Chain A
Amino acid sequence: DAKTTQPTSMDCAEGRAANLPCNHSTISGNEYVYWYRQIHSQGPQYIIHGLKNNETNEMASLIITEDRKSSTLILPHATLRDTAVYYCIVRVANSGTYKYIFGTGTRLKVLA
C-alpha cells in the first residue's frame, strides 16, 4: 500500500519554479523520502532524497515539514525536458533491508 499521496497532474510555465507537493502522514521516524521521475515510460531517474532537513542538489530542492508529514519538491527553473511523472517515495526499512514504496505520481507538464 502506498504511503504517499500526490496530485494527479500539474502544469507549469517554462522558466518558472515547479512546486510538487506530497503527503506522507504515516511516515515513520527512520523512513526517508525520495523523489524520482519517469520520462516517457523510461526507467525512473533519481532526483533527491531527505530525512528531516531540507536538501538541495543540482536538479532540485526538497522541503520537508517539521512534523515530516509532507514535503515539496521544487524544480527552480522548469524546462520542457522536465515534463515527466514525478514520484514521491517512502523508503521502508524491514529487518535491515530497504524497499521503495511508490505512490501514483504527479504528471507534470511544462508549457512553453
Chain B
Amino acid sequence: NAGVMQNPRHLVRRRGQEARLRCSPMKGHSHVYWYRQLPEEGLKFMVYLQKENIIDESGMPKERFSAEFPKEGPSILRIQQVVRGDSAAYFCASSASANTYEQYFGPGTRLTVT
C-alpha cells in the first residue's frame, strides 16, 4: 500500500513564475491537508480539502495561493507569481476521514525561489 506521494520533490522557480505542487493521498483516503515549513520552524497548517471541496483554508495566504482536490487525480497546491519568501518545504498529509486519529504525511516538496 503506497504511502502519500508528492511531486516534484524539489522545485526551483524564478520570482514571478508559478509553482504547482502535487499530492496523491494514500489509497482509500479522501481527505488532504497541506502544511508549509519554513527553515528551522514547525509545520504550519494551510488548507484542508475533501474530494472537490475546500473544508478549511484558514491558513492559506489571501493572495497568490490556491488549492484543489479534483474528483480524479492528485491534490494541487498552486502558488502564482512566487516570491523569495515562498521558499519552504510543503508537506501534504492524508486521512481516511475527517475525524480519523492519524494523518499520514508525504515526503514534501522543497520549493526554492531564486
Contacts and interface: CB of A to CB of B under 8 A. Distances in A.
A98 B35 CA distance: 14
A41 B108 contact: yes
A27 interface: no
Contact of B41 (A32, A98, A101, A104): A104
Given A42-B108, A43-B108, A99 B45 contact: yes
Contact residues on B (Cβ < 8 Å of other chain), bracket? 20 to 34
Nearest to B46: A99
Interface residues of A, number: 22
A94 B45 CA distance: 14
Interface of A: 2, 32, 36, 41-46, 49, 87, 94, 96-105
Interface of B: 4, 33, 35, 41-45, 48, 55-56, 59, 89, 91, 93, 98-99, 101-108
7 contacts: A41-B108, A44-B93, A97-B48, A97-B55, A99-B59, A100-B33, A100-B35
